A and B are shown apart, each in its own frame.
Chain A
């Protein structure tokens, strides 16, 4: 049961950040297409925002690892 919980935790926990990172990429591509000169700041800010959303998926991964191992 614990292992099932670990699998469900990681699986459901990766839905939100996946969609979120996709939306971020969409916005960054649009901004890059409108203004190719501002490539540096756009990419830097995109990486920062992606790190924020990816952290949520990492929290789910920690819960899954703790359920499966400890």
Chain B
């Protein structure tokens, strides 16, 4: 056998890889994924497993419950017998809490940070654990199924180039999921909407309790300069009154824009988290369909990283808006 140099080894490695990919796509196919936006793969509105009064028990709700149980169980076990020098689970929990608390203190200052910390940290941990649990192997594959067939990419490719072979070569036939039992919780639009509402009302609550209600609302309802201008008009000073009235109307408009920006934040939070997570789920399903074996594991890493980034962004944006809301602003001269 002649000795193979580096170039030879690379060529042989590439050939073996291509043959493995071919065999995998031909004999171990994956059914074509169906993309649904609703929670229980329903139509425009989800068809839940069970309806408990007004509550729809859907697969995303079960996944959200699982992550709640995981978080509560972890922190309960970590704080059972607390020692001054932490070991084991308590150490891990303390490290996590300390990193988050340091970051929150850095952004918001010491006393404000301590006030904002519980909700911000809960939002971060909840979104992160939901995103990670969506990547576990038993999500989206256990559930109600029917046995059927599904065309695959390899099948259409072979049929185009070699039409003489049987048209069912490379077709997938087996169980196809109708409704999975678990689905990543962030892909249901209700969970990001809930978190956005919690964040919005928390920011308003902190703003109103640190500054008085009147001071906080004066950021949005700025009638001060307009009333000054009207008062000057009544008292007879026409020229300064016109300038003050003009700028007063501009001020009212700016206040309305600010309040609109506050409300649009809810929509922006919701769709940012929902869009990222749904697009990630669709991407993973498509990659698993298009490439055989475990070539799609790279996208798993991307999904995990994206889950962390989205959780971080949600928590940090809540923190930054809360810091801006409690900062006392000077009134117009």
**Chain A residues near B (Cβ < 8 Å):** 44, 47-48, 51, 54-55, 58-59, 61-62, 65-66, 69-70
- In the complex, the chain B residue whose C-beta lies closest to that of A51 is B313
| Size of B's binding interface in residues, CB under 8 A | 21
CB distance from B306 to the nearest CB of A (A): 10
Which secondary structure dominates chain A's binding surface? helix
14 contacting pairs across A/B (C-beta < 8 A) = A47-B313, A48-B320, A51-B317, A54-B272, A54-B276, A58-B272, A59-B275, A65-B37, A66-B37, A69-B35, A69-B36, A69-B37, A70-B37, A70-B44
Is B278 interfacial (CB-CB < 8 Å)?
A: yes
CB distance from B302 to the nearest CB of A (A): 14
CB distance from B206 to the nearest CB of A (A): 20
CB distance from A3 to the nearest CB of B (A): 13
Contact flag A65-B35 (CB < 8 Å), given A47-B312, A58-B279 = yes
- List the B side residues contacting A66 at CB < 8 Å: 37
Contact flag A62-B275 (CB < 8 Å), given A51-B309, A69-B37, A70-B37 = yes
CA distance A69 to B309 in the complex (A): 27
- List the B side residues contacting A48 at CB < 8 Å: 313, 316-317, 320
- List the B side residues contacting A62 at CB < 8 Å: 271, 274-275, 278
**Chain B residues near A (Cβ < 8 Å):** 35-37, 43-44, 268, 271-272, 274-276, 278-279, 282, 309-310, 312-313, 316-317, 320
CA distance A54 to B268 in the complex (A): 11
- In the complex, the chain A residue whose C-beta lies closest to that of B269 is A55
- List the B side residues contacting A69 at CB < 8 Å: 35-37
- In the complex, the chain A residue whose C-beta lies closest to that of B34 is A69
CA distance A44 to B274 in the complex (A): 22
- List the A side residues contacting B316 at CB < 8 Å: 44, 48
- List the B side residues contacting A51 at CB < 8 Å: 272, 309-310, 313, 317
CA distance A43 to B146 in the complex (A): 48
Whether B268 lies near A55 (C-beta < 8 A) is yes
- In the complex, the chain A residue whose C-beta lies closest to that of B272 is A55
Whether A58 lies near B317 (C-beta < 8 A) is no
- List the B side residues contacting A70 at CB < 8 Å: 37, 43-44
- In the complex, the chain B residue whose C-beta lies closest to that of A57 is B275
Pick from A44, A47, A55, A61: contact of B279, CB below 8 A. Answer: A61
- In the complex, the chain A residue whose C-beta lies closest to that of B43 is A70
CA distance A54 to B279 in the complex (A): 13
- List the A side residues contacting B310 at CB < 8 Å: 51
CA distance A54 to B36 in the complex (A): 22
- List the A side residues contacting B276 at CB < 8 Å: 54, 58
- List the B side residues contacting A59 at CB < 8 Å: 271, 275
- List the A side residues contacting B320 at CB < 8 Å: 48
- In the complex, the chain A residue whose C-beta lies closest to that of B282 is A65
- List the B side residues contacting A44 at CB < 8 Å: 316
- In the complex, the chain A residue whose C-beta lies closest to that of B312 is A47
Whether A61 lies near B275 (C-beta < 8 A) is yes
- In the complex, the chain B residue whose C-beta lies closest to that of A41 is B106
- List the A side residues contacting B313 at CB < 8 Å: 47-48, 51
In the complex, the 10 A-B pairs of residues with the closest C-beta atoms, listed nearest first = A58-B275, A51-B313, A55-B272, A62-B275, A61-B275, A59-B271, A61-B279, A55-B268, A58-B272, A48-B316
CA distance A62 to B278 in the complex (A): 9
CB distance from B105 to the nearest CB of A (A): 14
CA distance A59 to B35 in the complex (A): 17
